[in-house]
């Protein structure tokens, strides 16, 4: 018996577009007519995941699981009634994409749609980060973050600088991991996320004018420590190489501004 042609696999983008067709009986498509389109946002999220890969122990590839979508004030106001539905669809499609690549994330994929002041109509910005809300596990199902082209503005807000530089407060632990500065100061790292910067919103504050107010973040899950640059002005270097996100190894030298920190592990 003759058989018909084999059907080609349906891509993540095609499945995403199909789900959008039935969203609010097509009203969603009218909202985005002539402005930014959800598929463009999903494409940007996929590029962000690709650009921020970090290799973990055992050869696993860690990518961001939290994505913040900043829309222009006009686009955001039009989208407001559908923002939650869009975020859910984007999270599901991004989780499918990450799973197809056999990449790893912390917990669920999370998408948040925000109002981006200063963005022109039709422009948007995607910010991606590793959110340590659970143990590292391969993506099997959704749970529920290159900016060229849409907007090149800072991915994180700037905060006013205040006093009281020093290490973050302790809150329990895993392995004994720490950063050691060139002058011998030791900064223990605790489980979860630690933001390094010179602003008053940083957990680990360093008095270096070459460091951004929110410069970089360290994510510690009890085993691996992942360093992520937060869109800093001067960049983040590890062993002389500029990085966006990287899993640290004992002895790695981290340079932020004119400050050098050595990553140490005990046990």
- In tens, the pLDDT along 191-212 reads 888 999 888 778 898 888 788 8
Note whether residue 154 is domain-resident.
Answer: no
One domain for residues 17 and 128: yes
Same domain, 17 and 134: yes
Q: Are residues 133 and 206 in the same domain?
A: no
In a domain, 30, yes or no: yes
Residue from 206, 264, 212, 202 nearest 236 by CA: 212
Question: Domain for residue 163, yes or no?
Answer: no
CA distance linking residue 22 with residue 29, whole number of Å = 10
Residues 127, 39, single domain; the answer is yes
* pLDDT beyond 60 at 138: no
- The 10s digit of each residue's pLDDT in 141-174 is 333 333 333 332 333 332 222 333 344 444 344 5
Examine the fold and report which residue of 122, 138, 154 is the final residue of a domain before the chain moves on.
138
Strand ranges for the chain from DSSP E:
54-55, 61-62, 66-71, 104-106, 110-115, 124-129, 136-138, 176-181, 186-189, 192-197, 204-205, 216-220, 225-229, 236-238, 241-243, 245-247, 253-256, 259-266
Q: Which domain holds residue 96?
A: 12-138
Query: What's the pTM?
Result: 0.50
In a domain, 215, yes or no: yes
Minimal CA–CA distance to 131: which of 198, 184, 64, 210? 64
CATH number at residue 257: 2.60.200.20
Q: Which among 138, 165, 184 is the end of a domain?
A: 138
Instruction: Calculate what percentage of the chain has a pLDDT beyond 90.
Output: 24
Would you say residue 1 lies in a domain?
Answer: no
Same domain, 37 and 133: yes
Number of structural domains in the chain: 2
């Amino acid at each position: 018996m003759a058989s018909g042609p084999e059907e080609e696999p349906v891509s993540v983008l095609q499945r995403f577009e199909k789900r959008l067709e039935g969203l609010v009986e097509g009203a969603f498509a009218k909202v985005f007519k002539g402005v930014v389109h959800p598929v463009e946002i999903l494409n940007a999220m996929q590029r962000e995941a690709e650009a921020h890969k970090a290799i973990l122990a055992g050869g696993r590839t860690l990518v961001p699981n939290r994505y913040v979508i900043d829309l222009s004030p006009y686009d955001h106001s039009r989208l407001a009634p559908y923002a939650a539905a869009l975020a859910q669809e984007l999270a599901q499609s991004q989780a499918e994409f990450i799973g197809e690549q056999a990449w790893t994330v912390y917990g669920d994929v999370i998408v948040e749609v925000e109002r981006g002041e200063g963005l022109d109509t039709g422009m948007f910005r995607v910010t991606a980060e590793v959110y340590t809300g659970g143990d590292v596990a391969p993506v099997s199902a959704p749970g529920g973050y290159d900016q060229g082209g849409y907007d090149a503005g800072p991915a994180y807000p700037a905060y006013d600088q205040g006093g009281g530089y020093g290490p973050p407060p302790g809150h329990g632990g895993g392995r004994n991991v720490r950063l050691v500065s060139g002058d011998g100061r030791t900064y223990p790292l605790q489980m979860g996320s630690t933001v390094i910067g010179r602003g008053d919103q940083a957990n680990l504050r360093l008095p270096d004018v070459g460091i951004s107010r929110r410069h970089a973040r360290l994510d510690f899950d009890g085993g691996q420590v992942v360093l992520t640059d937060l869109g800093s002005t001067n960049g983040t270097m590890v062993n002389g190489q500029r990085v966006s996100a990287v899993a640290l190894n004992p002895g790695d030298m981290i340079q932020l501004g004119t400050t050098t920190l050595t990553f140490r592990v005990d046990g």
